[in-house]
Every structure is written in C-alpha cells, then in structure tokens.
C-alpha cells in the first residue's frame, strides 16, 4: 500500500539550503539598505495586498529585516538550529518546511490584521520561520542543551515552551508592540501541524511523553 501524498517521503539529499537561505536574507537586506523604498514593497502590508494585489509579499516578507540587529538575531537562530534540522529532515523537506512555515505565519497574521482592521501594519522578518525551525530542533533533539546568553543551559523543549509562554503573554498584554508576537506563535502553529501531519511526530508527545522520531 502506497503512502498518502501528504506523508510521502522525498529522497534524502543534503545540499546546504540553510546556507542559501542565510545568503538570500543578507542579499535582500543589502538591497533594502541601498533602496529603502524596496523594503515596503517586499514587506507584508495588508493594505498593499488588499488594494494593490501584492500577493508576493506573503513570500518576500520573511527575507526583509528592519535593522542589522534584526537580521543578525534571526540569522544566528537559523545558523545554530537550521543546519542540524536540515541534516535530520533532508534539504528538500527542510526547504518546504521552512517556506511553508514562513508563508503560513504571514497568512495567519494577515487574516488577523484584516479581521481587526489593521491594514497599515508592516510585517517583516524571518522570525516566524525561525521559530518553526526552533520547534523542529527541539522535537528532533529533545535532550539538546541550549546555552541562553552563552551561560544558562536549558533543554531545547523547555526553551520552546518558555518562548511560547512569553509570546502568548506579550501578545495578550501588548508587550513590545514593535515585535510580531502573533507571527512567532503562528510560526510555531504551522510547524506543529507540519510535524504532526507530514512527519508523523507530535512535539508535545516528545516533550512530555517520550516519543522519538
């Protein structure tokens, strides 16, 4: 009996797509620095999508960053966790996972913005996709220790749960208004669904029940 389409595996290949993604983010950042106006057209702006049909923004927003520190933190996250997740999943699977998580996080955020009448917001950054990668890392390597600030060792699943709690609290109480907490949570959600439906592993069962993939 053949596997359902959603669970059909790709032939395992590793071609360093994480490095390509990091380079693409840097290239887009340089373009935005030379042409600041391009940042608006590549970011996710609900008003431009609704009125101007700028649907490409669901894809391009995740490669746009507001500052050097913004791209630095996101790319460090992708660097430290992306390579290992890619090696575990295979490059093709990882690329689909990353892109779908980013696009899905943007789409969920867009729908919330539309429902709340927030048309002029500007959403940008790879954080939604990077948070998805962090969830995958904690799922595949639950015993791994992450040294917060290079000092405090925390198991990867515990760190994911802490981040989730912080993002939920910040979203509810409007903490750090300039940070897209909703998009971070949406990235977690899309990644969770992908891992359960496509990969066949439930992160919560790994964190609390001992399931391994």
Domains belonging to the chain, first-starting first, are: 12-209 (1.20.1540.10)
Closest residue by Cα to residue 21 from 91, 106, 108, 104: 91
Give the pTM: 0.90
How high is the pLDDT of residue 172?
57
Residues of the chain with pLDDT under 70: 1-5, 149-150, 167-180, 210-213
Q: What is the 3-state secondary structure (H, E, C) of 114-163?
A: HHCCCCCCCECCCHHHHHHHHHHHHHHCCCCEEEECCCEEEEHHHHHHHH
Here the tokens at position 165 are 């709690």
Per residue in 54-100, pLDDT tens?
999 999 999 999 999 999 989 989 998 999 999 999 999 999 999 99
**What is the pLDDT, as a whole number, of residue 1?**
44
Give strand ranges (E) for the chain. 145-148, 152-155
């Amino acid at each position: 009996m053949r596997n359902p389409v959603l669970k059909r595996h790709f032939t395992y290949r590793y071609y360093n797509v994480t490095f390509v993604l990091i380079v693409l983010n840097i290239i887009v950042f340089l373009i935005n620095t030379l042409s600041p106006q391009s940042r608006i057209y590549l970011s996710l702006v609900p008003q431009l999508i609704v009125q101007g049909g700028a649907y490409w923004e669901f894809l391009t927003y995740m490669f746009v960053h507001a500052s050097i520190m913004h791209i630095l933190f996101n790319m460090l996250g992708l660097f430290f966790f992306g390579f290992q997740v890619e090696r575990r999943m295979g490059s093709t699977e990882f690329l689909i996972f990353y892109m779908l998580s980013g696009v899905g996080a943007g789409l969920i955020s867009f729908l919330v913005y539309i429902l709340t009448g927030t048309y002029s917001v500007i959403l940008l950054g790879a954080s939604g996709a990077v948070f998805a990668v962090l969830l995958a890392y904690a799922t595949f390597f639950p015993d791994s220790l992450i040294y917060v600030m290079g000092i405090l060792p925390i198991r990867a699943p515990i760190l994911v749960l802490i981040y989730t709690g912080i993002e939920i609290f910040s979203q509810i109480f409007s903490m750090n208004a300039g940070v897209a907490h909703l998009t971070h949570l949406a990235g977690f959600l899309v990644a969770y669904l992908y891992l359960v439906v496509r990969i066949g592993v439930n992160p919560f069962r790994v964190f609390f029940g001992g399931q391994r993939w």
